[in-house]
């Protein structure tokens, strides 16, 4: 987490030389203005075809023990390799990547400053730098944080009612807990998807279509939602949990199969979710939809 290493990771994150074509970078899909997502249902692959899953946000991953929707990467260093090596994503070849970066005198100096104990440019130092940069990405303060800190006027009446629903009747807090609003566990939430998710990787339960609980920090910027991008808005996400899921036996026990919410309750819950973003408040959320 040295400043030099974070700065180097930031440069590499936007560097197209890490891709096979020399035209894609990590930042191609992880755009900062969208909380490091891309606004697509599924990211566009190197061939122009959609990838299998929605692009996950990158905020606050320093506290996450398993990466990707299915948790197959045990560290951010391992995670960094995945998209670079995947033919359908960046299609990079490490020997070529290293050769390209070694031809850049500025990069050579940056690696020497960041890794004095191992100054050579290599797969290991590249992924360490990228992981350091991602670990530095902490979501900005929000109006909810201001309210937690004691500013009783930071939230509207509708947003406070939404928080009560979130922690009470809705039961959202059972999985979306802690300051990051995620338990970092894997659950089947009844989506109409054949993707095996966690059930197909080591550590998962075969046949259980479970996916990692995403953080709700800056969620207003990360639409569309879920691992497959199948829910276009926060209102659609709330509707899913209020009776639109598939009630199969594998459904997460934390989900209330009988949950039903009125239009006013749904609007209040969405209003609260918006307070977890650093964007300007949307007082129009006070009105029922």
Residues 157-196 have pLDDT tens digits of 999 999 999 999 999 999 999 999 999 999 999 999 999 9
Closest among 57, 11, 82 to 215, alpha carbons compared:
57
Residue 285 has pLDDT above 80, yes or no: no
Query: 262: which DSSP letter?
Result: -
Within the chain, all domains assigned CATH 1.10.760.10 are found at 3-135, 143-286
The residues, ordered by sequence, that sit 6+ positions from 249 with a Cβ below 8 Å of its Cβ are none
* DSSP alpha helix (H) spans, the chain: 3-13, 76-85, 94-102, 105-114, 123-135, 143-148, 157-167, 234-239, 263-274
CATH class of 143-286: mainly alpha
Task: Inform me whether the pLDDT recorded for 18 exceeds 90.
Answer: yes
CATH architecture group of domain 3-135: Orthogonal Bundle (1.10)
Predicted confidence (pLDDT) per residue in 190-238, tens digit: 999 999 999 999 999 999 999 999 999 999 999 999 999 999 999 999 9
- pTM reported for the whole predicted model: 0.93
Could you read off the pLDDT of 89-114 as tens digits, one per residue? 999 999 999 999 999 999 999 999 99
Question: Is pLDDT larger for residue 284 or for residue 250?
Answer: 250
DSSP helix, strand, coil percent of the chain (3-state; round to 5):
40, 5, 55
């Amino acid at each position: 987490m040295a400043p030099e290493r974070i700065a180097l990771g930031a440069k590499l994150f936007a560097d197209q030389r890490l891709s096979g074509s020399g035209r894609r970078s990590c930042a191609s899909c992880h755009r900062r203005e969208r909380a490091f997502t891309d606004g697509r249902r599924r990211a566009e692959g190197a061939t122009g075809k959609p990838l299998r899953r929605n692009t996950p946000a990158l905020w606050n991953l320093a506290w996450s023990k398993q990466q990707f929707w299915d948790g197959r990467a045990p560290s951010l260093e391992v995670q960094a390799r995945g998209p670079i090596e995947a033919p359908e994503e960046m299609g990079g070849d490490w020997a070529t990547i290293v050769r390209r970066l070694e031809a850049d005198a500025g990069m050579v100096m940056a690696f020497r400053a960041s890794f004095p104990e191992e100054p050579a440019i290599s797969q290991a130092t590249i992924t360490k730098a990228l992981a350091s940069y991602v670990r530095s990405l902490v979501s900005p303060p929000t109006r909810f944080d201001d309210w937690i800190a004691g500013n009783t006027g930071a939230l509207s009446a509708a947003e406070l009612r939404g928080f009560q629903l979130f922690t009470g009747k809705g039961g959202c807090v059972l999985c979306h807990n802690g300051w990051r609003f995620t338990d970092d566990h894997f659950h089947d939430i009844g989506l109409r998807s054949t993707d095996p998710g966690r059930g197909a990787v080591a550590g998962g339960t075969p046949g259980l279509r479970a996916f990692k609980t995403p953080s709700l920090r800056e969620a207003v910027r990360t639409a569309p939602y879920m691992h497959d991008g199948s829910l276009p808005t926060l209102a659609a996400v709330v509707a899913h949990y209020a009776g639109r899921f598939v009630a199969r036996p594998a459904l997460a026990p934390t989900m209330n199969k009988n949950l039903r919410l009125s239009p006013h309750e749904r609007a209040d819950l969405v209003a609260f979710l918006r307070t977890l973003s650093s964007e300007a408040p949307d007082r129009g959320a006070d009105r029922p939809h």
